[in-house]
Amino acid sequence: DAGITQSPRHKVTETGTPVTLRCHQTENHRYMYWYRQDPGHGLRLIHYSYGVKDTDKGEVSDGYSVSRSKTEDFLLTLESATSSQTSVYFCAISEMLAGGPWEQYFGPGTRLTVT
């Protein structure tokens, strides 16, 4: 999986609790992304990062925050989890070289259940 790990792989939490998901890469890629995947919606971008401390919102960012203090780590935080945030979360990395964007590589995913 292109040197990408996600932790935890599975988590069950209660409504209202904070949750942090971690993505770790060993590829030294500049770009990192967090997606959620739900039936009927495909992959939707939550937040992304284009460098250390440089982040921006995706299409479904409400209720989520991110941080990137090191090139290799990208954290996704649910400040107060809700049942609507039950989903499978994927991290992805990519690089931009001369000639344009390159493929995104995905991690194995984290299955989050909010009860």
Partner 1 sequence: GESVGLHLPTLSVQEGDNSIINCAYSNSASDYFIWYKQESGKGPQFIIDIRSNMDKRQGQRVTVLLNKTVKHLSLQIAATQPGDSAVYFCAENGSSNTGKLIFGQGTTLQVKP
Residues binding partner 1 (CB under 8 A)? 1, 31, 33, 40-45, 48, 50, 56, 58, 90, 94-96, 100-109
Which stretches of 1-115 are assigned E, i.e. beta strand?
4-7, 10-13, 19-25, 31-38, 42-51, 54-57, 64-70, 73-78, 87-94, 96-97, 100-101, 105-106, 110-114
With respect to partner 1, which residue has the nearer C-beta, 9 or 15? 9
Query: How far is CA 35 from its chain centroid?
Result: 5
For residue 16, the minimal CB distance to partner 1 (Å) is: 28
What single-letter DSSP state applies at residue 32?
Answer: E
Report the nearest approach of partner 1 to the CB of residue 25 (Å).
Answer: 13
Q: Residue 18 or 51: which CB sits closer to partner 1? A: 51
Which residue lies nearer to partner 1 by CB, 64 or 90? Answer: 90
